[in-house]
Every structure is written in structure tokens, then in C-alpha cells.
Amino acid sequence: MKIMHVVGARPNFIKLSPVHAALASRSGVEQVVVHTGQHYDDLLSDLIFRQLAMPRPDRNLGVGSGSHAAQTAAALTRLESAMQDIRPDMVLVYGDVNSTLAAALAAAKLHIPVAHVEAGLRSRDRSMPEELNRLLVDRLADLLFTPSADADENLLAEGTDPERIRLVGNVMIDSLVRLLPTAETAWPGIERTLDLADRPFGLVTLHRPANVDHPEAFGPLMAALCDLSRDLTLIFPAHPRTRARLAALGPLPPHGPRIIAPLGYLEILALQKHAALVVTDSGGIQEETTFLGVPCLTVRPNTERPVTITLGSNQLVGQDPDRLRRAAARILGSQGKAGGVPPLWDGRTGERIADILTVSATPAGHDRARPADREERHVRH
């Protein structure tokens, strides 16, 4: 059985790692990792592979940046060629980035079964490119590996055949469980470097266009963070695009958040673990803080991970700076939300996925033609 994993962005790599490791221990499984190159700088790509202790991708397609249409089209074209060359029995895709959609579409057109890891998540906000990707990938995929019961409910409400759905848990938590001890070992050095010893601090991560690309939204949010930083040291690792938007707003006051260079996965994990609170618009960090029991304020009007709110320690504050101020004040006043860990977020999701894939490479009722037959049929078509 030959499995082709397609990844393109940092969150994909974190989700890939446990699945790849679990399949590596199974006999008769050959794995090929294809990196589209959607994220291509060291901190977003090379470093994360090193920290996850994963082998280098077998192929890097070098797609790079561009508009959503250009990036998806480039990935689609290059992935189709790679699939015809690799001839996998199944393609695994992860999350909701443009590379995920391109891979699912390329595989479906070549009649190669597709499995979607982290299926069924919905924000119900179609202004988000990721939401469109989720909807389309879940329609194309043959196996839908879901992280939580609400994802199953979403898929069933959309008319998905229950036989395609497998509730396996959150694969992001597998990586967290495995690497948290390493992050804790590194914490004293991180604490010294950032001068955080013996003082509470908060972590800020903002990158979504709706928050950082529009000064009328980003300016008031930064003003609220500056107010908060009078009472709490705020560490804000900012990627180059976000830093450019910050520069356009003008200089921050001396007491404002500390803007630092992007950090690796282990460093971000350690900061989350020790933070008094986290302010973010990241989906993955909503999940990680939920597992860690750290109060999280999500600067979005909605989330595709509602279980982090209903069961976890996450709260939505929208883009309202006053809501952000009030929620942060409650947390700092020891009135924050405690929350709990959702079922199956136990560090064993990768093993459950590997079990399902190795019991049956193709879902019941799917075209079981050999890869060569599929390709020949595609060419004739």
C-alpha cells in the first residue's frame, strides 16, 4: 500500500507527523511526503520538520505565494503530475489550506481515493477561504477523519454517507503530547532569552487578513493590546506580513506588546504552556490552549472549532477591542474560563488513523481499481 501525504503549510506538518509515525510502524506501507511549498521560509517549513523529528519531504513542488487562485492552480497542476508519477493507492490531505484543496481535486480527477484528516470542521463563514476549502475537500474525500463529535454532526447534516466518517480525535494533540516534554526542557532558556522570569505574561498571535490587513480593524485591536500590556507583558511573535502591517500603524508606545521574530513550534508550545492568557486568531492554538487548560481569547466572530468553547478554555471576542479588554480583565482577575479536554484528544489519534487505513486501504463501495488501471481509465476519458 502506497500512501501519498500532501502538506503545504505549518499546521499541516504538525498534523502529518503523528500519522506518518504511526504508519511507519506498519508492515507493507510505503509513504511518500509531498510538500507543495505553499509555506517556504525556514521558520514556516524547514524548522518545523526538524523540531518534529520528521524526515525531509520526498518532494517539494515549490508553489510559493500568490493569490488564492494562482496558488491553488499551481499546486493542482504540479500535484497532478506528481500523482501520475508516484501512483499512490491513497492520498492523505490535512486541514484546510489551498494545498489541501488542490490535492483532493487532483486525486479525485485521477480516481485515487482521498482521506481528509481534520474533516467536518465548519465556521459557517464563507468569507474565509479556509471554509470554502473545507466544504469542497469534504465533498471530494472518500474517508473523513474527524476530530470531534460536532464535526460528525456537520457532515451528517450535509448529507454525507456515515460510512465515510470516522471519529478519531485531534491529531494536533498527538504532536503536543509527544513534544511537550521537550518544550518544557527548553523553557528555562526561552524564559531567560525573553526576560520572562518571575513575571506573568501573555502570548499574542494574529495573522488573519480580516484582523491585520485592514487598519480600521488592526488599529483598535492593537490599542486594546497596548492597554492590556500596561498590566501584563505581552509577547507577540509576528511574521513579516504582520510586521509590515504593524509598521504602517506607526510606532507602538514603550509599554506596548513586545514584537519579536517568528518562533518555532517548540517555542510557541512552551510559551502557551506558561502564559497567563493567549490572544489569537489561530485555529490550532485554540485547540492547543484547550488541551493545556490555558485561557484563550480568539479574535474572530466565529470558529470552526466550537468544541474549544463548549468544552475548552476558549472564548470568542470578535474584533471588538472592548470585549477583548473586558475578557482579559476577567482572566487576570482569576475569573477566567477553566474548561476541559474533549473526548479522544488523548495523543493516540495517529494510531487510530493508521489502524483504519491498514485494515482497508479503500472505503467500502469505492472503485478499487489498481493505480495503473485508474490512470489508464483517466487517459482514455
Question: Where in the chain are the domains?
Answer: 2-169+344-380, 176-332
Question: What tens digit of pLDDT does each residue of 277-321 get?
Answer: 999 999 999 999 999 999 999 999 999 999 999 999 999 999 999
Statement: residue 334 has pLDDT above 60: yes
SS3 of 92, please? strand
Q: Which three cell numbers stand for residue 39?
A: 509555506
CATH top-level class for 2-169+344-380?
alpha beta
Question: What tens digit of pLDDT does each residue of 44-87 get?
Answer: 566 788 888 888 899 999 887 788 899 999 999 999 999 999 99
Average pLDDT of every residue of the chain: 91
340-369 b/e (C-beta count within 10 Å ≥ 16 → b): ebbebbebbbbbbbbebbbeebbbeeeeee
Percent of the chain with pLDDT over 70: 92
In angstroms, how far is CA 340 from the centroid of its own chain?
20
Distance CA 1, CA 320 (A): 50
Q: Output the pLDDT for position 40.
A: 61
CB 346 within 8 Å of CB 15: no
For domain 176-332, give the CATH superfamily.
Glycogen Phosphorylase B; (3.40.50.2000)
Statement: residue 273 has pLDDT above 60: yes
Distance CA 271, CA 275 (A): 6
Question: Could you give the residue numbers annotated as active site?
Answer: 207
155-190 b/e (C-beta count within 10 Å ≥ 16 → b): beeeebeeebbbbbbbbbbbbbbbbbeebeebbeeb
* Cross-strand bridge partners of residue 32: 4
Instruction: Tell me which residue has cell 509531498.
Output: 34
> Nearest to residue 287, comparing CAs of 301, 304, 267, 265?
304
Write the burial class of residue 304 (CB in 10 Å: 0-12 exposed, 13-18 middle, 19+ buried): buried
Same fold, 2-169+344-380 and 176-332: yes
CB 6 within 8 Å of CB 99: yes
Statement: residue 16 has pLDDT above 50: yes
CB 95 within 8 Å of CB 39: no
Question: What tens digit of pLDDT does each residue of 148-196 get?
Answer: 999 999 999 999 999 999 999 999 999 999 999 999 999 999 999 999 9
